Structure 1
Amino acid sequence: MLRMFRTINGQVEQIQKPENGSWLCLSAPTDVELANVSMETGIDLADLRAPLDDEERSRVDVEDDYTMIIVDIPTVEERGGRDWYETIPLSIIITQSAIITVCMQDTPVLHPFMEGTIRGFNTYMKTRFILQILYRNATMYLRYLRIIDRESDKLELKLRHSMQNREILMLLELSKTLVYFTTSLKSNEIVMEKLTTLPRLKQYPEDEDLLDDVITENKQAIEMANIYSGVLANMTDAFASIVSNNLNNVMRIFTIISITLSIPTLIFSMYGMNFQEGMLGMPLTDKPWGFAVIIGISLVLSAIVTWFLTRSRMFK
């Protein structure tokens, strides 16, 4: 999808044709849209296609007529009825007359710019626009990191009495997400360092505070991702042991039950044996109340064995 915007009288408005100082937003673009933008702006088609590869690395490329900045942004993917988080590339291309953003999907990072809710946003101010996108990107990372932290707390409550692998696998999935976040944030940090020394981008004094905020937010996101990653790793190991202990408790109960039931089984098996005539039979077999006595003895012996096993150190 190709959408074009331009700041007119302080308001962000959507336009139909590219103009000087406009913003061209390509979200999940078609080949026709990419070809048209390439012809209109003179940008190499390969550079426009670069962020459509989800394995594309963050970098800054300086060409003769334009500068391309690729950063990783967070995104949400629904799998199995749950939201999972990953990172995808976003390309920001600056030319003399316009700024172009390219992404493989419609990202919420850019929605506030389209809606005009970002304070001080102006399509003519390219350097500030880049910094505002990077700041918005860092805040999105922080937002998703807090959501991941809350998800891990919910999983912790479920894992306290769980004997299934589902919750642990979800913890491992969150840990993998944090690794992706950390790697992407560190790559973005390198891109920011290059931007501060890039002579083609004009550095305005009023944007210095914004640049400091961007770097601070990105570093905070890196620290949070590292902390949450360490916590999840320890939590996964701890609850893997808890699941194993819960399973051992179940096996302990089943062992006690099986040993207890083996007592009456043994007694009734012996009384079920056939004896030759003239030989002394089993005790109480010739008594009318012998059957009830044998059952009583079996129950008493089973109760004694159960009491002993439940208090034995071997089964604690």
Structure 2
Amino acid sequence: MLEFYKTFEDGITKKIDAPQHGCWISAIAPTQQEIDYLINEIGVLPEFVKASLDEEESSHIDYDDDEAQTLVIVDYPNADEDDAADENTLLYTTLPLGVVIMKGYIVTICLYDNLNIEDMAKGRIRGMNTDMKTRFLLLLLLKIAQRFLIYLRQIDRVSSRTEKRLHQSMRNQELIQMLGLEKSLVYFSTSLKTDEVTLNKIMRGKLIKLYEEDQDLLEDVLIEIHQAIEMCNIYSNILSGTMDAFASVISNNLNIVMKVLTVITIVMAIPNIIFSFYGMNVNGFDGTMWWIPALIAIVACIIATLIFKKKDMFH
């Protein structure tokens, strides 16, 4: 899907029918025909388009001197929509978003629709101007950094709820959810570190021209990224410690269950042993005296139960 947006003199960004000088071109999951249009009509380098549509591409900056084009690929967080019906089973991943800065246009290319592009398209970002390419890029990066923080807080809330349920039951569902959250934090941590490297390259001002009025905005983006990295590390350590603790709890609970079952088995084996002796061919026992071994078995069971209870073997 190709869409064109332009910020007019009144500061309002509107959707336009065809590309104009100073407009923003948004390409979301483009078809082959749309890819050809970007390459042949707009002039985007084929390798830049290919890199932006590679799901495994990591965050980096690339520059082409001949065409005077700069490609910035940044990872943004994404909630797995397949499990979005239940927030307690949400899984999070990261996906690449390509931003091509070229003469006359700024182009964003991504594989899937995402909230960051949607917010930009609907004018929810204050100060956005499609003519100011550097500011546009920094505002998009700031939005992505803030999205990381939002999802990290969601992960923390889901983790806390899952932990409370784990106190009451030891089902596989809760453990799988905790494992999924831990994996999500690994994705976030890796992507945030590569995004930080990309931002540091932008800050040098060699590949992307930085204006004096954008310095504060760039610093804000770096602060948000650093905060997200710190939060990610903290939540990852907490979740890892929680998983280890619950692994120990589950193992301990299993040992307790086995101990109780062993004690019950021993107590129930006492009557069987006594009546086995009574069932042997032994002279002197009359059939009318059946209550004697029964009484002995009952007394022996009670004594064994009291001994085990005193040693706290039923807990």
Task: Output the CA distance in 1 between the equivalents of 2:173 and 2:183.
Answer: 15
Q: What's 1:108 paired with?
A: 115
CA contact (8 A) 2:60 2:73 kept: yes
Residues 159-308 of structure 1 aligned to structure 2 (within 5 Å): 159-199=166-206, 201-273=208-280, 275=281, 280-282=283-285, 285-287=286-288, 290-308=289-307
Instruction: Give the root-mean-square deviation of aligned CA atoms.
Output: 1.9
Partner deviation per Cα, 1:261-314 (whole Å, 9 max, x = no partner): 1011222333334x2xxx6144xx343xx3344334322221221221233267
Aligned residue for 2:77, secondary structure, equals strand
Deviation at 1:130, TM superposition (A): 0.4
CA contact (8 A) 2:278 2:293 kept: no
Deviation at 1:109, TM superposition (A): 1.4
1:109–1:75 Cα change, 3 Å: same
Q: In terms of mean alpha carbon deviation, does 170-179 or 239-248 score higher? A: 170-179
Deviation at 1:200, TM superposition (A): 5.2
Q: Does 1:310 align with 2:309?
A: yes
Task: Output the CA distance in 2 between the equivalents of 1:178 and 1:243.
Answer: 24
AA at the equivalent of 2:3: R
Residues 12-27 of structure 1 aligned to structure 2 (within 5 Å): 12-27=13-28
Task: Output the CA distance in 2 between the equivalents of 1:271 and 1:123.
Answer: 98
Task: Output the CA distance in 2 between the equivalents of 1:115 and 1:241.
Answer: 50
Partner deviation per Cα, 1:71-92 (whole Å, 9 max, x = no partner): 1110011456632001111100
1:163–1:267 Cα change, 3 Å: farther
Task: Output the CA distance in 1 between the equivalents of 2:32 and 2:169.
Answer: 49
Task: Output the CA distance in 1 between the equivalents of 2:257 and 2:194.
Answer: 48
Task: Output the CA distance in 1 between the equivalents of 2:33 and 2:276.
Answer: 84
AA at the equivalent of 2:45: D
Task: Output the CA distance in 2 between the equivalents of 1:195 and 1:308.
Answer: 74
Aligned residue for 1:305, secondary structure, equals helix
Partner deviation per Cα, 1:14-54 (whole Å, 9 max, x = no partner): 11211111111111121111111111221122311212222
CA contact (8 A) 2:263 2:313 kept: no
Larger radius of gyration: 1
CA contact (8 A) 2:76 2:96 kept: yes
Aligned residue for 1:119, secondary structure, equals coil
Q: Does 1:5 align with 2:5?
A: yes
Aligned residue for 1:69, secondary structure, equals strand
Q: Which runs of 5+ in 1 are unaligned?
A: none
Q: What's 2:30 paired with?
A: 29
CA contact (8 A) 1:163 1:247 kept: no
TM-score normalized with structure 1 length: 0.91
